[in-house]
A and B are shown apart, each in its own frame.
Chain A
Amino acid sequence: MSKLDAKIPEGPLAQKWTNYKDHQKLVNPANKRKLDVIVVGTGLAGGAAAASLGEMGFNVKNFTIQDSPRRAHSIAAQGGINAAKNYPNDGDSVYRLFYDTIKGGDYRAREANVYRLAEVSNSIIDQCVAQGVPFAREYGGLLDNRSFGGAQVSRTFYAKGQTGQQLLLGAYQALMRQVNAGTVKMYTRTELVDIVIVDGKARGIIARDLVTGELTRHFGHAVVLATGGYGNTFFLSTNAMGSNGSAAIKAFHKGAMFANPCYAQIHPTCIPVHGEFQSKLTLMSESLRNDGRIWVPKKKEDAEAIRAGKLKPTQIAEEDRDYYLERRYPAFGNLVPRDVASRAAKERCDAGFGVNSTGLAVYLDFKSAIERLGKNVIKARYGNLFQMYEKIVDEDPYETPMMIYPAIHYTMGGLWVDYELQTNIPGLFAAGEANFSDHGANRLGASALMQGLADGYFVLPYTIQNYLADEIRTPRMTTNEKEFVDTEKAVKARFDKLLSIKGERSVDSIHKELGLVMWDFVGMGRTKESLEKAIKRIAEIKKEFWSNVRIPGSNDGMNVELEKASRLADFIEIGNLMAHDGLNREESCGGHFREEYQTEEGEALRQDDKFAYVGCWKYEGEDKAPALVKEDLVYESVKMVQRNYK
């Protein structure tokens, strides 16, 4: 395949989705009962899709690696969810939400998909309220909104600082209602370990019971992957420990395209790494940059003394502080975009001015704000965040500056899907963060929840019918078919191989090595040299992994190290893809920053004449470089311009 067809419906942008729905094929109720749909993942996209498909009458099998569908990592989203309701009457509209998302994504998303996302955003809020999601309200009893980055309107709905939790519990409850009704069968603590393809179509999965170690075969007329992002390739990220990219890699190995793997979002304000055994990074809300000033010591010896614990930040005189964002970006100061703030922090730390015992942190200081506004105002604005920081770091941010550092947060890339959320393998769909489609090269705040639920409640349940309508004559297959047996055999051989290595190194130690390579060479600032080096180093890590990993225990029964090893093997493949994609994309856009391509002010410099396409990667075989296939991005409504944050 050399050309990818996104199957974008005809007609003007605002009519495409309506036209599609008016003309798509449907499945009648009697036939729905005869069709099996496998949904992998129970987050906002997977949980919402499984519940909705169950309500419609399909037979749904829903898989999760956790002990309950309610644990999916969507639960950790704090800020909110965008929708074009225009309740505050501040000029919002579907078009404006669409435009902001396209622009925020640095003109690398597909217009038709983004417009549909903006269009269904309002239905999501209605749906969640009907489910009993306790959104924040004003005294008049109506819904409250707040502002988020990249927009001039207040369109973000929220439930305290736990919006993701409340939306996920809404989807989870809808899902459990279907479990009770018998339309959805839940498989908890069960992991997809491969996808079964029969005559070119996705027909099922091989799963591993994480408690017994048993491999099981499952048939589906269609398979939906809603398995989240691959940020944990970097080992340290804001993702949950179990978040992984394995389902996407299994699909990739079976011929599905992996799109824009190099687009990863690095969030500037996370609690920094404290030591070698750090397992994860915690996000501190971006809103803190409204009142906090970011700095490092001006003198190297001060930074060294701080790292050695001989000096406190409060002892550094005002003239010895380098407010580097205010210095480098006087117009925007501490409120530069996420990518710029992240890169600038890394630059200072790499130059030896970082603080914390590791040298990998900068200060976020509220002293001026407290002097200007008083402690009570700051407390009212950020009290809960300050408390959370204090629990983790054991320092009072009212008295001493916070320490922060950037961390990998979200991956915009993912499995290539067409307008129907179908990958290039018929019958294999991808939803939520697992697909690539809506955020372009950079995602705006409060848009991940919107996209997950849009895909799960309002897009996939429609588009999947257009495929399933042609499957009503396909009887349920027994899983004794050759393709199931062979796929299971290959999976077993892979696990046996992993267990037979019996090397010297733990899974985590190799994963940390991969993470450092990714961070140093495929991180915030990339160059041709760094990416070439990454490809070489990742190949070495792959060799080391497959010859020297140590996995205690066996395949019979629970074996957490084996699970981790299997996922790490796939993260190594993803790291390689990210580096290849980054190397190919000789431009800077959104979260992908090639140091060779920047404006004089250090802003991302796109090359629209050469790279206005989706970079899709095709698997060419073990240890072979992946092949590039392009989907051209054709903009009909919006003009591509240089993003301007000045």
Chain B
Amino acid sequence: MENTINLTLKVWRQNGPKDKGRFETYKVENISTDSSFLEMMDILNEQLIKENKEPVAFDHDCREGICGMCSLYINGRPHGPDDDVTTCQLHMRKFKDGETVTIEPWRAAAFPVIKDLMVDRTAFDKIIAAGGYVSVSTGGVPDANAIPIPKVDADEAMDAASCIGCGACVAACKNSSAMLFVSAKVSQLALLPQGRVEAKARAKAMIAKMDELGFGGCTNTGACEVECPKGVSITNIARLNRQYLAARFSE
């Protein structure tokens, strides 16, 4: 038989970026422990609609851990109390009956709150736009097998490229640094011959943009790696630092 639990939720409500915001307390009952966390949020919203109240706004889309849209700071942890999952993959069996669950948005100066639990992460897009690509246009490229790439490099690039851009690394960091995000893209492209041509310029441009947008510096606490739902490694930050230093020395 399926188990159900009752919970008290302390949910951050904020009408817009200028609103001060506050916690509201809600009760949800008979939540199946097989539900996902976001399905529990759906139930809360259904309840609020029934009471003619405004549902809680939160970001979500694919609900299978790949789009990077869902966020939420749950009981003090980005993506909640489980490892290597996004909030949409978190299940209610990780909670106890009668527990109080605190739900907050990502808190970082560079990610202003839009409404309730929804934040604006366009800063990440701006960092990518500053140089997170290989400058090739469609067509006129060599055959895919023209340049062999060592399997170990391709695999390592893939690991870095698995970043979903959710922003948990920024939310987990006491400095709100975006170094794990930036380093993942810089590493992926620097590991591949196609991206190596622009590697130094890319590192410089992306870091400059990151600083400009109000993200903090990295002090190597490693919190980002712990909370990253895709297990992106902080060795990428070391690689980014090397690229960045090389770029500065060659100035």
A280 touching B64 by the CB < 8 A rule? yes
A277 within 8 A of B: yes
A508 touching B46 by the CB < 8 A rule? yes
Task: State which residues 111-154 of B face A: CB under 8 Å.
Answer: 114-115, 118, 120-122, 124-125, 128-130, 132-139, 141-145, 147-151, 154
Q: How far is the CB of A87 from chain B (nearest CB, A)?
A: 6
B162 touching A162 by the CB < 8 A rule? yes
A143 touching B144 by the CB < 8 A rule? yes
Task: State which residues 521-568 of A face B: CB under 8 Å.
Answer: 550, 552-553, 557-558, 560-561
Q: Which residues of A contact B135 (CB under 8 A)?
A: 177
A497 within 8 A of B: no
B61 within 8 A of A: yes
Chain B binder among A66-74, A259-267, A425-433 = A66-74
A458 within 8 A of B: yes
Q: Which residues of B contact A125 (CB under 8 A)?
A: 144
Q: How far is the CB of A394 from chain B (nearest CB, A)?
A: 6
A552 touching B134 by the CB < 8 A rule? no
Residues A73 and B151 in contact in the complex (CB < 8 Å), given A176-B132, A558-B114: no
B55 touching A552 by the CB < 8 A rule? yes
Q: Which residues of B contact A283 (CB under 8 A)?
A: 64
A73 touching B61 by the CB < 8 A rule? yes
Chain B: CB-nearest residue to A87: B145
In Å, the complex CA distance between A55 and B136 comes to: 9
Q: Which residue from A85, A136, A275, A550 sits with its C-beta under 8 Å from B49?
A: A550
In Å, the complex CA distance between A136 and B156 comes to: 11
Residues A173 and B64 in contact in the complex (CB < 8 Å), given A277-B35, A277-B42, A458-B138: no
Task: State which residues 442-468 of A face B: CB under 8 Å.
Answer: 457-458, 461
In Å, the complex CA distance between A162 and B188 comes to: 15
In Å, the complex CA distance between A127 and B144 comes to: 8
Q: Which residue from B32, B141, B154, B162 sits with its C-beta under 8 Å from A126?
A: B141
Mask of A48-89 contacts with B, CB within 8 angstroms, 1/0: 100110010000000000111111010110000000010100
Q: How far is the CB of B128 from chain A (nearest CB, A)?
A: 5
A180 within 8 A of B: yes
B148 touching A166 by the CB < 8 A rule? no
Q: How far is the CB of B212 from chain A (nearest CB, A)?
A: 14
Q: Which residue from B68, B69, B93, B161 sits with its C-beta under 8 Å from A394?
A: B93
B213 within 8 A of A: no
Chain B: CB-nearest residue to A552: B54
Q: How far is the CB of A51 from chain B (nearest CB, A)?
A: 7
B158 touching A70 by the CB < 8 A rule? no
Chain A binder among B97-105, B168-176, B189-197, B243-251 = B189-197
In Å, the complex CA distance between A349 and B89 comes to: 27
B148 touching A142 by the CB < 8 A rule? yes
Task: State which residues 66-108 of B face A: CB under 8 Å.
Answer: 66-69, 85, 89, 91, 93
B10 within 8 A of A: no
A392 touching B67 by the CB < 8 A rule? no
Mask of A247-279 contacts with B, CB within 8 angstroms, 1/0: 000000000000000000000000000110111
Residues A173 and B132 in contact in the complex (CB < 8 Å), given A85-B144, A125-B144, A394-B34: yes
A29 within 8 A of B: no
Q: Which residues of B contact A141 (CB under 8 A)?
A: 148-151
Q: How far is the CB of B142 from chain A (nearest CB, A)?
A: 7
Show 6 A/B contacts (Cβ-Cβ < 8 Å), sorted by A. A66-B69, A126-B142, A274-B34, A279-B42, A280-B63, A557-B115
Question: Chain B residues in contact with chain A, CB under 8 A?
Answer: 1-2, 16, 32, 34-36, 38-39, 42-43, 46, 48-50, 52-55, 57, 59-64, 66-69, 85, 89, 91, 93, 114-115, 118, 120-122, 124-125, 128-130, 132-139, 141-145, 147-151, 154-155, 157-158, 161-162, 164-165, 188-189, 192, 194-195
CB-CB nearest 4 A-B residue pairs: A141-B148, A173-B133, A130-B141, A134-B158
Question: Chain A residues in contact with chain B, CB under 8 A?
Answer: 48, 51-52, 55, 66-71, 73, 75-76, 85, 87, 123, 125-132, 134-143, 159-160, 162, 164-166, 169, 172-174, 176-177, 179-180, 186, 188, 211, 240-242, 274-275, 277-280, 282-283, 308-309, 357, 391-394, 457-458, 461, 506, 508-509, 550, 552-553, 557-558, 560-561
